[in-house]
Amino acid sequence: MKSNLSLLWMLSLWIAFFLVILGRSETALAQTPDPGTISDDQVNAIAKHLYCPVCENVPLDVCGTQACEQWRQVIRQKLAEGWNEAQIRQYFVDQYGDRVLATPPPRGINWFAYLVPPIAILAGVWILIQAFRSWKRPLPAPASLPEAEPLSPEVLKRIEDELKNR
């Protein structure tokens, strides 16, 4: 009897625990963050995929210009409004063009950026395979050399004299 009561008591504690957790998660989901609660990490996670349109080849998350600071604030504001990363990127593309993207979109001449590296890797692998195959093949037997004529005795004597003089 006592074990049944302790079991009921434990079960009711677990149910109360889960109800409290569920109640708190709903209130947390219902709140909308203000720009002050968006962390720099959240902003930089998006900013590292964008390039500063003023400075050349500088990611937005490390650029120190005033314009980049303002753009990071725009990202912070958009995150606070509930925008996702794709929407924020599209906002910047609409404002400044494709040049602000760290990864160019696969259209137009940008396809080369996606096609050339795999083709180059495949070509390199093919060249290596061909080289390995050629290294494994046995070397062809050398062509037979014509029989050399024996040296005359006077040539042999001259060679021996030369070697003795050294």
Domain boundaries along the sequence of the chain? 31-125
| 2 dihedral zone (left: phi>0; alpha: psi -120 to 50; beta) | alpha
Pull the structure tokens for residue 52.
Answer: 């500063």
Residue 74 has pLDDT above 60, yes or no: yes
- pLDDT one-digit tens code per residue, 75-90: 899 899 898 988 988 8
> What is 31-125's CATH superfamily?
Cytochrome C biogenesis protein (1.10.8.640)
What percent of the chain lies above the pLDDT cut of 90?
Answer: 13
Cα dihedral 153, 156, 158, 160 sign: negative
Residue 8 has pLDDT above 50, yes or no: yes
**DSSP secondary structure letter of residue 50:** B
Residue 30 has pLDDT above 50, yes or no: no
Pull the structure tokens for residue 28.
Answer: 């947390």
The reported pTM is: 0.48
| 82 dihedral zone (left: phi>0; alpha: psi -120 to 50; beta) | left
Rounded Cα distance between 137 and 110, Å, is 42
Would you state the pLDDT for residue 50?
87
Residue 83 CB contacts under 8 Å (≥ 6 apart), including other chains: 91
Rounded Cα distance between 51 and 68, Å, is 9
